[in-house]
Structure 1
Amino acid sequence: MTDTIIETRGLTKDFRGFVAVGGIDLKVRKGSIHALIGPNGAGKSTVFNLLTRFLPASGGKIFFKGEEITRRDPALVAQSGMVRSFQISSTFPAFSLRDNVRIALQRPRQLSYHFWRSDKTLADLYGRADELLDAVGLTRWRDLRAADLSYGRKRALELATTLALDPEVMLLDEPMAGLGHEDIERIANLIRKVAIGRTVLMVEHNLKVVADLSDTITVLARGKILAEGPYAVVAANPEVRSAYMGSAHA
């Protein structure tokens, strides 16, 4: 289908006989917010690792924008437009927020480690860095060290550094983990905002966030797809309620 940006066919990963992902067929629609949910050990993070090529697949195929990437180098996957955020922070604690985003902006220009370049040479990056900080609500803290941010604002900074790579697809691994109620609402609103014109695939345990944000939900259990569809459909599925949502809806 022309509107499918990520597709897996029979995607499998086993670890010395333990099947973490058991032959899943997944389709992520371009421009959608798609959530992967399921109980602990369902294989959600493993799927993320397979899609971004942090782990090699034991079987099956992965397609991104119609091209097979099953054995593509992880760096090339990121350069082609699929970027994973939150699981691995790309921020530098001792640097200001503005410099963190500027460094992220250098990556597509292959300037990532040219810290010795003059401010004049890199001055054009500051304007875009300020735009990204404004987009995630961090303008007033732009000169603060990243280490001095609250946990919720660090998440927002990580989102800004991810956006600096101008991804077509953002993979967010438990973006609400460890956040308080106010920060959850703030980050959810940011995800909704930055998803405009992009595709978001996220693993998330907060069902309210999933219900509010997601166009499509894929429920995993024991490495297999148990159900898929809008929240109302999967929430009403008896197998889903038994495997994952039962305690939340009891």
Structure 2
Amino acid sequence: MDDLILETKGLSKQFKGFAAVSDVDLRVRRGTIHAVIGPNGAGKTTLFNLLTKFLPPSSGTIHFNGKDITNDNAGQIARQGIVRSFQISAVFPKLTVLENVRVALQRKAGLATQFWRSEQSLHKLDAAAMQLLEDVDLASFANASTVNLAYGRKRALEIATTLAMDPELMLLDEPTAGMGHEDIDTVTELIRKVAASRTIVMVEHNLGVVSTLSDTITVMQRGSVLAEGPYDVVSRNPQVLEAYVGVTEDA
């Protein structure tokens, strides 16, 4: 279907006989926010590792924009427009906020491996970097040392560096992990903002964030898909309630 940007069929990953991901059929519609949730050990991060080819699948297929990318490597996946963030904020603490974004922009500018270039020669990227910082409300911190940023702002910076790769599909792994309420609200609104022009798949433990942002939710348990649908349907599913809080249909 034309509105599907990402689709997996029978996607599985085994480690010495243990099925971390088992026969997952995932269908992500273009221009939506699709959440993947589930208890600890459900296989969510392994699924992300398969989609971005940090791990090869044991079986199954992955299609992006209708093209089979199952056998592509991580670099090829990124170049096609699938870019991922991680649970732990991945920024350069000794660089300024602007310099972090500029490093991410170097790949697009054809300067990805030229770290020995002079500072002055990279200033042509500053305007684009500042625009990205404006997009994530960090422009006023452009010259600040990244190590001094509050945790929520570091996550916002990571989203900016992800956007610098010009992704068509963003995979966000636990974007609000470890945050207080104020930072969660800020990052939630940021995700909503950047989703206006791209598709997002996110693994997220905070069900408040999931209910606020998601168009579709896939619930995983023990490596398999337990349920799928909009939040108001999934949240009433007896199997989902049992998996999360131990509530059975007869309770």
- TM-score normalised by length of structure 1: 0.95
- Is 1:152 matched with 2:145? no
1:113 and 1:143 mapped to 2: Cα distance?
23
Structure 1 residues 72, 58: CA separation in 2 closer, same or farther (over 3 Å shift)?
A: same
Q: How does 1:23-38 map to 2 (within 5 A)?
A: 23-38=23-38
Aligned to 2:227: 227
Structure 1 residues 108, 88: CA separation in 2 closer, same or farther (over 3 Å shift)?
A: farther
Aligned to 1:76: 76
- TM-score normalised by length of structure 2: 0.95
Compare 148-157 and 111-120 and name the one that shifted more: 111-120
Post-superposition CA distance 1:170-206 (Å, at most 9, x none): 1000001000000000000000000111000000010
Aligned to 2:16: 16
2:108 and 2:229 mapped to 1: Cα distance?
35
Aligned to 1:203: 203
Post-superposition CA distance 1:67-125 (Å, at most 9, x none): 11111010110111000013364421111101110110001233123233234432221
Q: Does the aligned pair in 1 maintain the 2:87–2:177 contact within 8 Å?
A: no
Structure 1 residues 240, 202: CA separation in 2 closer, same or farther (over 3 Å shift)?
A: same
Q: How far did 1:246 drift? A: 4.7
Which runs of no fewer than 5 residues in structure 2 stay unpaired?
none
Q: How does 1:72-151 map to 2 (within 5 A)?
A: 72-87=72-87, 89-151=89-151
Q: Secondary structure at the match of 1:195?
A: helix
Amino acid at match of 1:85: S
2:81 and 2:21 mapped to 1: Cα distance?
24
2:90 and 2:42 mapped to 1: Cα distance?
27
Post-superposition CA distance 1:139-164 (Å, at most 9, x none): 11110111111111110110100000
1:246 and 1:137 mapped to 2: Cα distance?
40
Q: Secondary structure at the match of 1:61?
A: strand
Identical pairs, percent = 58
Q: Does the aligned pair in 2 maintain the 1:235–1:245 contact within 8 Å?
A: no
- Is 1:186 matched with 2:210? no
Q: Secondary structure at the match of 2:2?
A: coil
1:246 and 1:210 mapped to 2: Cα distance?
20
Amino acid at match of 1:99: E
Q: Does the aligned pair in 2 maintain the 1:90–1:161 contact within 8 Å?
A: no
2:88 and 2:175 mapped to 1: Cα distance?
11
Aligned to 2:239: 239
Q: Does the aligned pair in 2 maintain the 1:136–1:190 contact within 8 Å?
A: yes
Q: Does the aligned pair in 1 maintain the 2:62–2:70 contact within 8 Å?
A: yes
1:88 and 1:167 mapped to 2: Cα distance?
20
Post-superposition CA distance 1:6-27 (Å, at most 9, x none): 1000001010010111111110
Q: Secondary structure at the match of 2:20?
A: strand
Q: Secondary structure at the match of 2:70?
A: coil
Compare 232-241 and 118-127 and name the one that shifted more: 118-127
Aligned residues: 248
Q: How does 1:37-52 map to 2 (within 5 A)?
A: 37-52=37-52
1:222 and 1:29 mapped to 2: Cα distance?
24
Aligned to 1:3: 3
Q: Secondary structure at the match of 1:47?
A: helix
Q: Does the aligned pair in 1 maintain the 2:6–2:27 contact within 8 Å?
A: yes
Which runs of no fewer than 5 residues in structure 1 stay unpaired?
none
Q: How far did 1:223 drift? A: 1.0
Amino acid at match of 1:13: K
